[in-house]
Amino acid sequence: MATEIVAQVISQELHIPLTGLDAWQDAELELVREKSVLVIRPRKLKPLQERELAIQALREDGLLVEMKQTPIYPPIAPGERAELSRKLSAGRSLSELVIEERKAGW
């Protein structure tokens, strides 16, 4: 939302009330001459700085969970894989169990 600020022009100086710039108190400012106006705005951050600020804000609000690195497991030998397959496939199939539970009203 734009806020209009009354500035004073004095010989060789331009006075701007700081109350209009309170929202930018921690930001570096840049001055840009555009056509017939002088624009004062917060300096644009580098993409990496924007990312770090966003991560920091999410972390402070409890919206960011740090995930531990997933361990890398060594490949399973074919014989061991076959044995696990045999053990885990005992009994009825999952689809049969689901159909049975649906019929029972679960």
Residue 83, CB half-sphere, CA atoms under 13 Å: how many?
Answer: 5
Q: What is the pLDDT of residue 22?
A: 73
Question: How sure is the predictor about 80, in pLDDT bands with cuts at 50, 70 and 90?
Answer: very high
Bridge partner residues of 40 (DSSP):
31
Question: How sure is the predictor about 2, in pLDDT bands with cuts at 50, 70 and 90?
Answer: low
Report the distance separating Cα 48 and Cα 14, nearest Å. Answer: 34
- DSSP-derived secondary structure letter, 27: S
Instruction: Find the farthest-apart pair of alpha carbons in the chain and give their distance in angstroms, rounded.
Output: 92
Interval 46-77: pLDDT, tens: 888 888 888 999 999 989 888 888 888 889 99
Report the distance separating Cα 81 and Cα 70, nearest Å. Answer: 21
pTM: 0.34
Interval 5-44: pLDDT, tens: 777 888 888 887 777 777 777 777 788 888 888 787 777 8
